[in-house]
Chain A
Amino acid sequence: MHELSVTSGLVDMVNKEAVTNNANKVVSVKLKVGKLSCLVPEIVKDYFQLLSEGTASEGAELIIEKFPGRIHCNDCDEDFEIEDFRIICPKCKGRNADLIEGRESYIDSIVVE
């Protein structure tokens, strides 16, 4: 349910970007969502449609791309993709690893006219 406030913030940010870039209309928004975040893309899309009504983003297509979590294993000194929330090195199976990315979600780009 937190998607409502997240999407509300998202619409505000997108509209601000449009103003900053002297655009009247937002055609599409590319959102990258980390697989370790708990955002549900379908819900974000529904709210986006609803909350953008009457703004520069109304009717804009929201493209959501998921990206995997990545960790750095301190023992192997290598980076790896992970499948779920477990920060375990797939090579040595050890826990001496740190999360690099995957928990965050960000606006990658917008297309405006």
Chain B
Amino acid sequence: MREIKVVKQVLEWNEDVSDQIKEVTSKKKVYIVNVIGSPGAGKTTLLTSLIEKLSPDFKIGIIEGDITETIDAQKIDELGIPVVQLQTQGACHIEAKSIECILPMFDLDNLDVIFIENIGNLVCPAEFNIGENLRIALLSVPEGDDKVVKYPLLFSTADCMVINKADMLPYFEFDVDRVKNDVKDVNKNCEIFNVSSRSGDGVVELSDYLKDKIKTGLE
């Protein structure tokens, strides 16, 4: 019997592919955004609002991640935006390998930014880098203001957090300051936006932030 020192990250296989994706998209000048939040947090609706604000400046593509079905992809397709529906057939998160397989389905020479709507889940997707340049964590008001403390990994790894459905604040006991404070405790650099995709409040601020990030990222 002999002991062999290994010291390799358990997720090395995913990290390697994630780095390869970054290499490809950086060459093609395509910026990747990973959008993570619970089922029903409003990821697709937020994306449709962002498409409206960002499409005059950027050519956008969307990857819709779901366990099954193509409902979300149809909504995006109706907007005339290139979209690929990724069905994980039960898996609770998207891995870099799936994105690597999907990227060739897009005409990358004709895109500036791809938004990936991850599987609705606050836990598992947070562990997997999928070649993104920016990670958005989405929390909607009806989910409750204790979610940052309960599911800290996502919020500690996000570049930016969106408190969505802000128009619901009068109807729920949701302490925005508490949430902001909890996020800053785990991630001091996280930018936080109050947004209502439905009323449109806060969408301009978020899209201005994204415009800056995408432009800087593509330089």
Binding site for B on A (CB under 8 A): 1-2, 5-6, 9-10, 12-13, 17, 21, 23, 27, 31, 36-39, 84-88, 95-97, 103-113
Contacts and interface: CB of A to CB of B under 8 A. Distances in A.
B6 interface: yes
Contacts of A113: 1-2
10 contacts: A13-B6, A21-B4, A37-B127, A104-B10, A106-B10, A107-B10, A108-B7, A109-B5, A110-B3, A111-B4
Contact of B95 (A5, A21, A111): A5
Nearest to A2: B124
Main secondary structure, interface of B, reads: mixed
Given A5-B91, A38-B153, A113-B1, A106 B8 contact: yes
Given A85-B152, A103-B153, A103-B157, 17 more contacts: A5-B91, A5-B93, A6-B10, A6-B127, A13-B13, A36-B153, A36-B156, A38-B123, A38-B124, A84-B152, A85-B153, A85-B186, A87-B156, A104-B11, A110-B3, A111-B2, A111-B3
A81 to B, nearest CB: 16
Contacts of B92: 1-2
Contact of A104 (B2, B9, B13, B156): B9
A2 B156 CA distance: 18
A9 B2 contact: no
A63 B93 CA distance: 26
B1 A107 contact: no
Contact of A109 (B6, B10, B95, B152): B6
